Amino acid sequence: MTKSETLSDIGEFGLIDKLRRTVHSGRARLAIGDDAAVLPYSRSRDELLAADMLAEGVHFKKTTDPRLIGRKAINSCISDIAAMGGLPRFAVISLGVPARRPVKDIRELYAGINSAARKFDCGIVGGDTIKSPKLIINVAMTGLVQRSQLVRRSGARPGHIIMVTGPLGNSLKSGHHLKFTPRVDAAQYLVKHFKPSAMIDVSDGFLADLAHILEESGVGARIYEDRLPMRQGATLRRALCDGEDFELLFTLTKTKAAKLLTAKTRGLRFYPVGEITAKGLTFMTKKTSAITLKHRGYDHYRR
């Protein structure tokens, strides 16, 4: 590393990767490197802890409806908890607010927070409010998970089927990134009836988040273009690389996958998009030719 290296050079993932190797993680069961940390709670349950920070100009615009900002902040964190197989419990909200921002906006932001929190029975129990040049919001959230239902990123094995819970791409332009509902119902259905071997929520982008599973599991994948569910207006590139879909991306044994695809899922949708291989990442185009891909996805510092 040279002295002048900046975040733009190494990227967010590079940084996190460097740091996770050095910090004191105490008695955590699982620390940095998944959607949420896993902490000891009781004999049968673990506590989950996750945080998401959203900033004006990066995750929303100055003109974005404050209710939607509040909603998105809570729901992003709930999505992390859900992707571990857990349910949200409590959250603390830190707000950086420009001094001239109308109080009305902050009330509306809290109204958005409150209605999302109420929907999933997540108690808003405190936080901090400071002055800041631009609006910034951090949500830190605890959740609980039955230990038998905990799903990490690291359990995918060759032969497992890769699935997603909904359409990918074009989340930012379509407004989906503000209005999505976290896939708590789908996650709970899965961990109770067809426990996935690995799971993550698609926040950095399908390929980037798939890469997290592949890296943590030490495996590869084959993805089929014609099976990828795409959001209206999304190109293939956007479906693969855009961030903030907030769908679940998970892997299942073949047997479970076959059963899931014929099961009564009470309206929940699951789309098989490929399978886990021993290594590499292969993309099968509609003409059944194979392309070897590099992992790519959203990185705050590389756009």
Among 137-145, 179-187, 236-244, 256-264, which window interacts with a copy of itself (CB under 8 A)?
137-145
Among 60-68, 120-128, 216-224, 256-264, which window interacts with a copy of itself (CB under 8 A)?
120-128
Listed in sequence order, the residues at least 6 apart from 301 whose beta carbon sits closer than 8 Å to its beta carbon are 7, 8, 10, 11, 12
Which residue of 62, 125, 254, 269 would you call a contact of a copy of itself, by CB under 8 A? 125
Binding map of a copy of itself across residues 200-229, x = CB under 8 A, - = no contact:
------------------------------
Question: Partners of 52 in the beta sheet?
Answer: 139
The beta strand positions in 198-301, using DSSP E, are 198-201, 220-224, 248-252, 271-277, 281-284, 290-292
Cα–Cα distance between 123 and 114 in angstroms, integer?
9
Pick out residues in 74-93 that bind a copy of itself (CB under 8 A).
89-90, 92-93
Which residue of 129, 148, 235, 255 would you call a contact of a copy of itself, by CB under 8 A? 129
Which residue of 61, 134, 192, 254 would you call a contact of a copy of itself, by CB under 8 A? 134
Q: What tokens does 218 get?
A: 């030490």
Min separation Cβ 299 and a copy of itself, Å: 10
Pick out residues in 26-65 that bind a copy of itself (CB under 8 A).
26-28, 30-34, 36-37, 39, 41-42, 47, 49-55, 57-59
Task: By CB under 8 A, tell whether 138 contacts a copy of itself.
Answer: yes
In three-state secondary structure terms, 13 is: helix
Asked if 76 contacts 198 with a C-beta cutoff of 8 angstroms, the reply is no
HSE-up of residue 54 (Cα within 13 Å, Cβ side): 25
